[in-house]
Amino acid sequence: MTPGARARELLHGARVAPSILSADFGRLREQVDEVLAAGARLIHVDVMDGHFVPPITVGPLIVAALADSVHDAGAMIEAHLMIERPERHVGEFVKAGADSITFHAEATPHIAYAANLIRESGAGVGLAINPATPVGALAEVAGAIDVALCMTVNPGWGGQAFIAHSLEKLPRVRAIVGDEVAVEVDGGIDAQTAPSCRAAGASLFVAGSAIFGADDPGEAYRAIARSIDAE
Ligand code: DX5
Ligand code: ZN
> What does 31-51 look like in DSSP terms, one character per residue?
HHHHHHHTT--EEEEEEEBSS
Inter-residue contact 183 to 177 (CB < 8 Å)? yes
Q: How far is the CA of 69 from the centre of ligand 1 (A)?
A: 22
Other Cβ atoms closer than 10 A to 144: 16
Distance in angstroms (rounded) separating the CA atoms of residues 6 and 163: 31
Q: What is the pLDDT of residue 6?
A: 84
Rounded Cα distance between 190 and 225, Å, is 9
Give the binding-site residues of ligand 1, using a 6 Å CB cut-off.
19, 21-22, 44, 46, 80, 153, 155-156, 158-160, 186-189, 206-210
pLDDT, one tens digit per residue, over 161-202 is 999 999 999 999 999 999 999 999 999 999 999 999 999 999
Whether 190 is catalytic is no
Spell 8-22 as b/e; 16+ CB within 10 A means b. Answer: bebbeebbbbbbbbb
- pLDDT of 85-113, one tens digit each? 999 999 999 999 999 999 999 999 999 99
What was the pLDDT predicted at 128? 99
Residue among 146, 186, 190, 216 flagged as catalytic: 186
Between the CA of 101 and the centroid of ligand 2 the distance, in Å, is 11
Residue nearest to atom 6 of ligand 1 (CA): 155
Residue 10, amino acid = L
The pLDDT assigned to 5 comes to: 83
Predicted confidence (pLDDT) per residue in 29-80, tens digit: 999 999 999 999 999 999 999 999 999 999 999 999 999 999 999 999 999 9
Q: Does residue 146 carry a catalytic annotation?
A: no
Answer whether 18's CB lies under 8 Å from 223's CB.
no
Q: Write out the residues surrounding ion ligand 2, Cβ under 5 A.
A: 46, 80, 186
Q: Answer whether residue 8 shows pLDDT above 90.
A: no
Catalytically annotated residue among 46, 49, 146, 190 = 46
Q: Does residue 43 contact residue 76 with C-beta atoms inside 8 Å?
A: yes
Which top CATH class is 3-227? alpha beta
Side-chain-side CA neighbours of 17 within 13 Å: the count stands at 33
C-alpha distances (whole Å) from 102 to each of 5, 38, 45, 132, 169 are: 16, 24, 10, 18, 19
* Residue 89 near residue 68, CB atoms below 8 Å: no
